[in-house]
Amino acid sequence: MIRNKERHFLSKSTFLRGYICKKSLWLSKHRRDLIAPTPAGQQFIFDQGHEVGKLAQKLFPGGVDASPATHFDYQPSIEITKKLIAEGRQVIYEAAFQHNGVLAALDILVKKEDGWYAYEVKSSTKVHDINVTDAALQYWVMKNCGVEAKDICIVHINNEYERVGEIEPEKLFETESVLYLVIALQDEISESVKVLKQVAVNETCPTVLIDKQCTDPYTCDFKKHCWESVPDESILDFGMYRKEERFRLYHSGIKRIADVTPWKDLKVPYNYIVEAHINKGIYVDDVQLKNFMKTIIYPVYFMDFETVRFAVPKFNNSYPYEQIPNQYSVHVLNNENEEPVHRSYLADPGKDFRLEFIETLLDDLGSTGTILAYNVSFEKSCLKMMAFLFPQYEVRINAVIDRLVDLALPFQKKWYYDSRFSCSYSIKDVLPVIAPDLSYKNLAVNNGDDASVLFMKMMQEPNKDWSAERKNLIEYCGLDTWAMVRIFRHLNTIV
Ligand code: SF4
């Protein structure tokens, strides 16, 4: 086979990287050592993306795959695509094109009576702006290679699809044309290609200030590097201002919350927050905090769920990306003077565990007393989903929902605020301040994403010996509710 000798400067992903931030493109070409490792949760999303891509091919069966043997060398794919087009193939998967040093591989290319149709598959549940830019570059490269698409569409997940029996790809996916948006972007794409090719080969890194592009539409994998001089208790955390304003203040030299001035006239509680940062102290709204604590009735249940979510629903009567609880921890405090009792559940990854989960949970939660959860809306939505799925337990589940109280509320509303929270009310930020002896750092599983990914992997290979991992998951979820006990006791001592 004749090899295309022209190596590409930009792929679709490096173009998009540069389109979002030129510095990110330059760093990805010259300082790959600064890229942060991909978190397990993110990697699993990528892996799910491959599964979604394969499933979407079933919408256009009988295609020929032009994928390269290795993703480090796409040149053979370009030649295979040319050959398949010349042979008159109707459906080509992973069709690759290259123009002017830009390589773009399309998920599905289909020849109909009136011409070529292009389909990009995304595992999101709607079309995002960045998907349109992605499609616009694809269209630009293809058109310049002599394949002008009659239409270009994004195939994405339909989040209203309910699985009943085998997966039905024609119901799981929705197809949305972005042709007019893509055509409107063609001049901009052409100009951006010129600029970004130059950026990629420049010897020096472009100057780009940190801003919204560092986390939107994705968290940049150079964030740790670019943000290393952002101080603790930074103005970028100060929730009173919109993001744009926070970055404006930061770049004007107001880098910390304590630097905000004049602060006395700011609205409550932000004036007290700034004061707490200036004094490195604590702010307490006595009245609100006391009223909140009065609503809590013994026995107090501290409850936390872990969940899994799949782009392609795994169980009957479940939906794409539905949060399915697979694990819980409950600490029960019968009165102020006793030590709490611990109860927990971790599902068997080899079966549909939803009914067992809710039956065990209902038994563990008794019938009286407050149930505290941290960010209660999450647990509430899981319980509502269970009530819908198992109507025989609807009354008991609704009774549980009526007993729920959100332990995050005093922190979210700033009725209790310590400057070391740095405007966050996440339990991961609150706990180290209130109970510094408790730490997630030494645990093998130390965050919800990792716990979720680990269990989803266990579901993929349920017969493997997972006993060590099961112990780690139980330990992690148990620490979440033990942390809540400590936070509750701390607030009790305050009031
Ligand atoms: S962290 Fe922000 S400024 Fe740095 S490369 Fe990424 S997007 Fe650009």
Examine the domain organization and report whether 195 and 301 are in the same domain. no
Residue 315 predicted with pLDDT over 80: yes
Examine the domain organization and report whether 361 and 465 are in the same domain. yes
Q: Is residue 322 part of a domain?
A: yes
pLDDT of residue 190: 98
Residue 4 predicted with pLDDT over 50: no
**Domain around 135:** 10-201
> If you measure from the C-alpha of residue 222 to the centroid of ligand 1, how many angstroms do you get, rounded to a whole number?
6
Examine the domain organization and report whether 72 and 177 are in the same domain. yes
Q: What tokens does 335 get?
A: 């009165």
Q: What tokens does 478 get?
A: 């148990």
Q: Closest ligand 1 atom, CA of 213?
A: 7
Residue 5 predicted with pLDDT over 60: no
Instruction: Answer yes or no: are the C-beta atoms of 319 and 159 closer than 8 Å.
Output: yes
Q: Is residue 377 part of a domain?
A: yes
Tens of pLDDT, residues 350-374: 999 999 999 999 999 999 999 999 9
Tens of pLDDT, residues 64-117: 999 988 777 788 899 999 999 999 999 999 999 999 999 999 999 999 999 999
SS (H, E, C) the chain: CCCCCCCCCEEHHHHHHHHHCHHHHHHHHHCHHHCCCCCHHHHHHHHHHHHHHHHHHHHCCCCEECCCCCCCCCHHHHHHHHHHHHCCCCEEEEEEEEECCEEEEEEEEEEECCEEEEEEECCCCCCCHHHHHHHHHHHHHHHHCCCCCCEEEEEEECCCCCCCCCCCHHHHEEEEECHHHHHHCHHHHHHHHHHHHHHHHCCCCCCCCCCHHHCCCCCCCCHHHHCCCCCCCEHHHCCCCCHHHHHHHHHCCCCEHHHCCCCCCCCCCHHHHHHHHHHCCEEECHHHHHHHHHCCCCCEEEEEEEEECCCCCCCCCCCCCCCEEEEEEEEEECCCCCCCEEEEEECCCCCCCHHHHHHHHHHHCCCCCCEEECCHHHHHHHHHHHHHHCHHHHHHHHHHHHHEEECCHHHHCCCEEEHHHCCCCCHHHHHHHHCCCCCCCCCCCCCHHHHHHHHHHHHHCCCCCCHHHHHHHHHHHHHHHHHHHHHHHHHHHHC
Q: Is residue 270 part of a domain?
A: no
Q: Is residue 486 part of a domain?
A: yes
How does residue 6 score in pLDDT terms, banded at 50, 70 and 90? low
Residue 39 predicted with pLDDT over 90: no
% of the chain beyond a pLDDT of 90: 90
Q: Closest ligand 1 atom, CA of 209?
A: 3
> If you measure from the C-alpha of residue 436 to the centroid of ligand 1, how many angstroms do you get, rounded to a whole number?
32
Q: pLDDT: is 265 or 402 the higher one? A: 402
> If you measure from the C-alpha of residue 16 to the centroid of ligand 1, how many angstroms do you get, rounded to a whole number?
13
Count the domains in the chain.
2
Q: Tell me what the mean pLDDT of segment 470-487 comes to.
A: 96
Q: Closest ligand 1 atom, CA of 24?
A: 5
Report the residue among 16, 214, 215 best suited for mutation to probe ligand 1: largest number of ligand atoms under 8 A from its CB: 214
Rounded Cα distance between 325 and 306, Å, is 6
**pTM of this prediction?**
0.91
Report the residue among 220, 225, 251 best suited for mutation to probe ligand 1: largest number of ligand atoms under 8 A from its CB: 220
**How much is the mean pLDDT over the chain?**
95
Q: Is residue 239 part of a domain?
A: no
Tens of pLDDT, residues 406-463: 999 999 999 999 999 999 999 989 999 999 998 888 889 988 999 999 999 999 999 9
Q: Tell me what the mean pLDDT of segment 319-347 comes to.
A: 96
Q: What tokens does 50 get?
A: 């491959």
Q: Is residue 82 part of a domain?
A: yes
pLDDT of residue 389: 97
Q: Is residue 59 part of a domain?
A: yes
Tens of pLDDT, residues 168-217: 999 999 999 999 999 999 999 999 999 999 999 999 999 999 999 999 99
Q: Which of 166, 201, 236 is the last residue of a domain?
A: 201
Examine the domain organization and report whether 173 and 305 are in the same domain. no
Examine the domain organization and report whether 196 and 324 are in the same domain. no
Residue closest via CA to ligand 1's atom 3 equals 210
Q: Which of 157, 175, 201 is the last residue of a domain?
A: 201
Examine the domain organization and report whether 293 and 196 are in the same domain. no
> If you measure from the C-alpha of residue 214 to the centroid of ligand 1, how many angstroms do you get, rounded to a whole number?
5
Q: Give the domain CATH number at 483.
A: 3.30.420.10
Q: Which residues line ligand 1 (CB under 6 A)?
A: 21, 23-24, 27, 208, 210, 213-214, 220, 222-223, 226
Q: Give the domain CATH number at 56.
A: 3.90.320
Examine the domain organization and report whether 362 and 474 are in the same domain. yes
Examine the domain organization and report whether 174 and 309 are in the same domain. no
Residue closest via CA to ligand 1's atom 7 equals 214
Report the range of poorest mean pLDDT among 42-46, 55-59, 88-92, 383-387: 42-46
Examine the domain organization and report whether 196 and 323 are in the same domain. no
How does residue 3 score in pLDDT terms, banded at 50, 70 and 90? very low
pLDDT of residue 361: 98
> If you measure from the C-alpha of residue 199 to the centroid of ligand 1, how many angstroms do you get, rounded to a whole number?
14
Residue closest via CA to ligand 1's atom 4 equals 226
> If you measure from the C-alpha of residue 23 to the centroid of ligand 1, how many angstroms do you get, rounded to a whole number?
6
Give how far the C-alpha of residue 105 lies from the chain's centroid of Cα atoms, to the nearest Å: 25
Q: Tell me what the mean pLDDT of segment 467-483 comes to.
A: 96
pLDDT of residue 45: 78
How does residue 142 score in pLDDT terms, banded at 50, 70 and 90? very high
Examine the domain organization and report whether 360 and 465 are in the same domain. yes
Report the residue among 207, 213, 243 best suited for mutation to probe ligand 1: largest number of ligand atoms under 8 A from its CB: 213
Q: Which of 169, 201, 233 is the last residue of a domain?
A: 201
Report the residue among 22, 24, 216 best suited for mutation to probe ligand 1: largest number of ligand atoms under 8 A from its CB: 24
Q: Is residue 477 part of a domain?
A: yes
Residue closest via CA to ligand 1's atom 5 equals 24
Residue 1 predicted with pLDDT over 50: no
